[in-house]
Homo-oligomer: A and B are copies of this chain.
Amino acid sequence: MKATIVTIGDEILIGQIVDTNSNFIAKELDRIGVETYEMISISDNKQHILNTFAQLQNKVDVVIITGGLGPTKDDITKKTFCDYFDDQLVVNPEVLAHVTELIEGFYKRPISQLNKDQALVPSKCTVLHNKMGTAPGMWMKKENTVFVSLPGVPYEMKYLVENEIIPKIVKEYKRPYIIHKTILTYGQGESLVAERIENWENNLPEFIKLAYLPNPGRVRLRMTARGTDKGELEKAIEENVQSLDAIIHDIIVGYEENETIETVVGKLLAKNNKTISTAESCTGGKIASLLSSVQGASRYFKGSVVSYATEAKVNVLGISQDLIDQFSVVSAEVAAAMALNVKDILKTDYAIATTGNAGPLKGDSNAEIGAVFIALATPEGVITEEFNFGQPREKVIDRATIKSLEILQKEILKIVQ
């Protein structure tokens, strides 16, 4: 079963916003065995929308469309959607009651014609009720393809996908199973890894596809199996993970099922009843922000001192001015002291510290642009590592953040094993 995701909106095409709706929908579809064949972003233009619909007709089973359902003149998706089906717009009484309740009851203002028009839907469509906003979702079939139109506001779109579309697809379509398994490797580049596992890769069964996902310093290997017998797929994946492990055991550090490093680390901390704090200079709070983005983070994340200015390192973290003068603010010694001190201040088992120069200009020290020291205080002591993450600034911050969490992950794994 195949789907195409169409996002409509000039704001995407001029680069004003990043389209994250497609990613959310693709993930949800993948989970229930629906293959996303394409994602397409197009403008708020009637002919462009009609052409896109026509081009997808009977090529995929489902087209999921987001955007352009607002009450204003630039939102033309609903009218165009209706035209495509040669249908006419009629008032849906349930939607009208919901819109009225929202405007008059919640926002406490008189309902206008533009508001009321939100309750207009094509006469033949199945309405998907949007409890999160005024624009309903619309589900309509033509020949072999179902077209579903959803509002572009992420929270409204997510609500409708989770509560209406996924259950409806699960009920109405037979779908295969799609299973992914991602193996994390560290320390060797993708071409080297590819050479080592060449024979293994050549012997993978037809229904398992292998992908290399390189990041600086690590390569993730993703196996994807598609088929109708879930047990058989799982067995085949498991066997191939075993045989892969026999070949590159030295560089495999873990597995992920689409999990982020902050979720993996969070689970490890929670499971082992360990707590964490951070003292951040060049990462500016990003590590704390990632750690606290995970639900339930309060069980293991105690807090952070973002000591961006040197005086914050002295005043809040209690780093001695002598140490800074002797080694400079961007040094292994200062990173170690930051980690140890914040661990003491916030009474945690582990503490991460970063100090470096994210660039593009030199800061409070003479450190090279891109240079970062990461320290991890553990129940046993403190370790420090030096990196140069190059440029640009966002890359230095991102890589220092991810690397810090990876160092933490490795250390916890060591201790708990």
- Residues on A lying within 8 angstroms of B by beta carbon are 10-20, 22-30, 35-44, 70-75, 107, 109, 112, 114-115, 153, 155, 158, 178, 180, 182, 189-192, 194-195, 201, 209-214, 222, 224, 258, 278, 280, 283-289, 291-293, 295-298, 301-309, 311-312, 315-316, 345-347, 359-361, 363-364, 392-395, 397
A155 pairs with B22, CB closer than 8 A: no
Q: Compute how far the CA of A73 lies from the CA of B195 in the bound complex, rounded to whole angstroms.
A: 10
B36 pairs with A38, CB closer than 8 A: no
B392 pairs with A155, CB closer than 8 A: yes
B315 pairs with A308, CB closer than 8 A: no
For A280, list chain B residues within 8 Å (CB): 285, 288
B39 pairs with A43, CB closer than 8 A: no
B107 pairs with A189, CB closer than 8 A: yes
A150 CB to nearest chain B CB (Å):
15
Q: Compute how far the CA of A222 lies from the CA of B74 in the bound complex, rounded to whole angstroms.
A: 11
B308 pairs with A306, CB closer than 8 A: no
Q: Compute how far the CA of A44 lies from the CA of B209 in the bound complex, rounded to whole angstroms.
A: 11
B284 pairs with A209, CB closer than 8 A: no
A114 CB to nearest chain B CB (Å):
4
- Given A284-B288, A303-B308, does the pair A74, B210 have CB atoms closer than 8 Å? yes
B194 pairs with A71, CB closer than 8 A: yes
A346 pairs with B74, CB closer than 8 A: no
For A315, list chain B residues within 8 Å (CB): 345-347
A305 pairs with B303, CB closer than 8 A: yes
For A397, list chain B residues within 8 Å (CB): 292-293
B42 pairs with A13, CB closer than 8 A: no
- Given A305-B303, A308-B297, does the pair A14, B43 have CB atoms closer than 8 Å? no
For A26, list chain B residues within 8 Å (CB): 12-15
A11 CB to nearest chain B CB (Å):
6
For A72, list chain B residues within 8 Å (CB): 190-191, 194, 212
For A288, list chain B residues within 8 Å (CB): 280, 284-285, 288-289, 306, 308
Which residue of chain B has its CB nearest to the CB of A287? Answer: B285
B212 pairs with A70, CB closer than 8 A: yes
- Given A298-B308, A306-B303, does the pair A190, B289 have CB atoms closer than 8 Å? no
For A360, list chain B residues within 8 Å (CB): 295
A148 CB to nearest chain B CB (Å):
17
Task: Among B22, B71, B195, point to the contact of A190 (Cβ < 8 A).
Answer: B71
A23 pairs with B30, CB closer than 8 A: no
Task: Among B114, B190, B293, point to the contact of A70 (Cβ < 8 A).
Answer: B190
Which residue of chain B has its CB nearest to the CB of A75? Answer: B212
A201 pairs with B308, CB closer than 8 A: no
Q: Compute how far the CA of A25 lies from the CA of B189 in the bound complex, rounded to whole angstroms.
A: 27
Q: Compute how far the CA of A284 lies from the CA of B37 in the bound complex, rounded to whole angstroms.
A: 37
- Given A18-B23, A155-B395, does the pair A305, B308 have CB atoms closer than 8 Å? no
For A283, list chain B residues within 8 Å (CB): 289, 292
- Given A191-B112, A195-B114, does the pair A286, B284 have CB atoms closer than 8 Å? no
Q: Compute how far the CA of A361 lies from the CA of B299 in the bound complex, rounded to whole angstroms.
A: 12
For A75, list chain B residues within 8 Å (CB): 212
- Given A14-B26, A112-B195, A212-B72, does the pair A311, B347 have CB atoms closer than 8 Å? yes
- Given A36-B13, A39-B41, A289-B285, does the pair A303, B312 have CB atoms closer than 8 Å? yes
